[in-house]
Structure 1
């Protein structure tokens, strides 16, 4: 059963008399509970796809569905509600509120949604039970990204969208964060979608969607995903 569906999704940008297709008839499906990696070079259209699925942008053509609900065609009010309740976001930069503690940053997210998870419990699940009262400036980059992941999970979203989540981190810290995302997928049955330019991450995914020049170049299903610890790049 498809949980995420893109069907002939197009997104155009107009530059003078030129029309550029950032998404060109993109079609794919993702099942619930899958760890999906969307991979491709810079400028390929990966982030456009992520933004459309996350309700931060809208498509010009095609259909987008999440859990049977049509996202494409939502108005601004509906998209705001969708982003608030159904989607958890993790970005390359942590976007934490600097004058709030780790716990308060996570509480901020849990206060705006319907069925939040307990903030303390979520911070404990990402290994930060001892750092809840610390401010972002007192945390390492990896710890700040853990807070960002906890904030996204506290919303109890249907999908977790991660755009280059290890881009600002060193190699070993990046691996730790990817392991955490893989665990969230397996242990919490969350559908996790990671957008990256790093081809080396593909063996850890259940599904790999290769994006090139705004189109889906290929899709692979991996029957035996491997732990991120076994991946080198």
Structure 2
């Protein structure tokens, strides 16, 4: 059963895919909890089921069994229309590839997200906060990979979401730039009290998290809490 303090709860969640005559469990009775305002790292090798878990939490996929709860609402019971609202209002997404609209400026890309939300944050303000004060009128092609990912994070934050879901957010970036992006995400969690979930195969990132959920072969193999998370700039890999 979900505890009173949990912000996110997965309760025996399963997701199956049919491959010919074989049924594959991409998520196999996955259970965990995440508290509000935590920085959580979901860790595992490629193909472990991390993205499946993230997609179900983000409402981009549905589970076949079990229960998914966010902020007291049972997401796994939502119909298609309610899932669309949930994705639009409650969840901010940051992907490995930035998914920016190429013919829109940085500001316009962020405004695009804030236009569909109930209680958006000011696009200029959010771009200032992610360090892009002087790059707002640039198009994606005029920005570095790190800058484009910052626009992507600003776009997600401008929605003022309940939760920020990041799927390998540094996967397309070099080491130094990747660290800067992770620093920004960690700062967003600490200073804004935002619940941030990052999925990664990089085990070094476990040290920066409040909570580490290890997944392999579609199963949770370990959940650990860090009493003293380390700032990402002090982590080497």
TM-score scaled by length of structure 2: 0.98
Displacement of 1:90 in angstroms is 0.1
Displacement of 1:75 in angstroms is 1.1
In 2, Cα distance between the equivalents of 1:63 and 1:172?
A: 39
In 2, Cα distance between the equivalents of 1:201 and 1:184?
A: 16
Q: 1:186 aligns with which of 190, 207, 224?
A: 190
In structure 1, the gaps of 5 or more residues are none
Deviations 1:32-63 (A, max 9, x none): 00000000001100000000000000000000
Displacement of 1:17 in angstroms is 1.5
Corresponding residue of 1:58: 62
TM-score scaled by length of structure 1: 0.99
Corresponding residue of 1:90: 94
Matched, 1:14 2:15: no
In 2, Cα distance between the equivalents of 1:86 and 1:205?
A: 22
* TM-align CA RMSD: 0.4
Corresponding residue of 1:220: 224
In structure 2, the gaps of 5 or more residues are none
In 1, Cα distance between the equivalents of 2:86 and 2:236?
A: 36
Corresponding residue of 1:195: 199
Matched, 1:127 2:131: yes
Q: 1:231 aligns with which of 217, 231, 235?
A: 235
Displacement of 1:73 in angstroms is 2.1
Q: 2:38 aligns with which of 34, 40, 48?
A: 34
Displacement of 1:15 in angstroms is 1.2
Which runs of structure 1 show a deviation greater than 6 angstroms over 4 or more consecutive aligned residues? none
Deviations 1:96-120 (A, max 9, x none): 0001000000000000000000000
In 2, Cα distance between the equivalents of 1:188 and 1:110?
A: 18
- Aligned residue for 2:97, secondary structure, equals coil
In 2, Cα distance between the equivalents of 1:133 and 1:17?
A: 52
In 2, Cα distance between the equivalents of 1:131 and 1:17?
A: 52
Q: 1:48 aligns with which of 34, 48, 52?
A: 52
Aligned pairs for 1:75-224 within 5 A: 75-224=79-228
Corresponding residue of 1:4: 8
Corresponding residue of 1:72: 76
Displacement of 1:16 in angstroms is 1.7
Displacement of 1:141 in angstroms is 0.3
Deviations 1:113-152 (A, max 9, x none): 0000000000000000110010101100000000000000
